Structure 1
């Protein structure tokens, strides 16, 4: 690995109490370029802009995917990653679907850990705080012919993070727009998936909602995801979440919630969630909770949902009565080294990794 450290850290000028999600970046980044059919040597370098032509094939044809993951710091200053190899596996699954080269495990994992070690001072400690990490792969070739690119870049950037949503949100169940379709790229973290979601989300915001619950493209009768999150529904004391498919992202937080629920002996079922089932449960009083989960937010509790021209308020539960918040606390306690990790999810970032690189 090539090491090029900054001569002056920006940390002293960073207001650690007054910042927004994704607006500030740590001192360094990881870059690795693909050309002539192979990946080159990874480089740690100062964070900053890169120069690309407007004819860059990513801008024109959308070959780009990314991951979202976090690093956490405990009270002793130790740094932990959460299930990072799942992110490695998923970014390559996305890359393959977009006809991009898969990044080698050594480049991904070594680059990730070197970056976390070098910039560990940027990782905040405290409730709801973490370092949000964004690995990404994108085409860098200059050209306007619609074909697979021959040049790519793998990069890792990171940003200090506080709680994404600080209060419950309201969501609109989509009865027209879909996030993805059969045979498409819904299971991949393709950049274009997010761009296509912005317009219908903006429409929902104009109606007074914060996000959308996406439904299937064929019938709009079944839940798929909510905004950029996987979705969970609690009816009586049973939790339901849709099974993953080629249209639904295999969320790492989602999988962690499922495993934690089983570990706690909760009744959780991975099966299709019908809109009509949720509406019936709302009507007869058995609908207790709906929530979304994802890396950035961890858990977003919903206070209300809309369907067509109706709005329905959800019960307000005490924290100890909420399955969503109970599972969130259990997950965060593992991530931040405040609880035992029976699953082996937490991965320590050793100090002074550069000495072995």
Structure 2
């Protein structure tokens, strides 16, 4: 099986697995207990916290959560005032904003252009006094487009609002701008374990708790932490830092091979220039992406977000950039990274081209 679905999740790094194993066995203590085993577990959690926070801006604290979805819900529902976000955001942001809207908060959702980028003039007009939170992705999970987060955060602050950065796809790969106030991240997108995320909170920023019942995390999150997952997250973050240049160069080579091999029949969705090279989202007129995925059993790739894969509806991101229903259903997302080889990309591109050609031939 060739795995090309890195936006959904990434393979666990061997070093991460090794870091986690002791906390499955002899170091199983509750990190919130006062005895020696508890203190040992707590020390491991704090080491991991420092490792994960090292890739966030300076001047803040990091609270572990059960997922990035929890972190995003916490940031949105724990803030006050109106909310401004973007039409191509993850469902965890859009659905949380709509839920907040049902409590009486004003919610404004900004459109994007055909390149997937928000218009800063439209953002400036929408981010006015009374807005309490602006939320935007650093890297879009479906099309890989990089939003102007720094500029959006400046607009938020000029209006007296906080800025929430969904950095799930960009954390460890792109610098997170220093002027953001809240950052949501997840371990399983950086070769860490599933079931753990984090919310970074700038010093001086307070938000209401989402979960009550103990307040184990300083920022107000309740629940017993899993030292195993924290240790894995920390090891994954440290690897991202150590391998940053090597991973980026590898991705650039893979991107070049994939785009050249697939050729002009496949049109890239979203901006060509402002995007992360580990995400290749593209469409070919007349191709049924769902059938392509079904036909290519030796290849793991997707037609969009794993969170919405069973909905049957065209991707809201692809619709937001102006694709027709037919174009959206002809779109595939190829995600690759550290453990993808050049041979994998060559072989996968060949498989996709052959399967697409068969579809189009039978459609004539």
Normalising by structure 2, what TM-score? 0.23
Q: TM (normalized to structure 1)?
A: 0.24
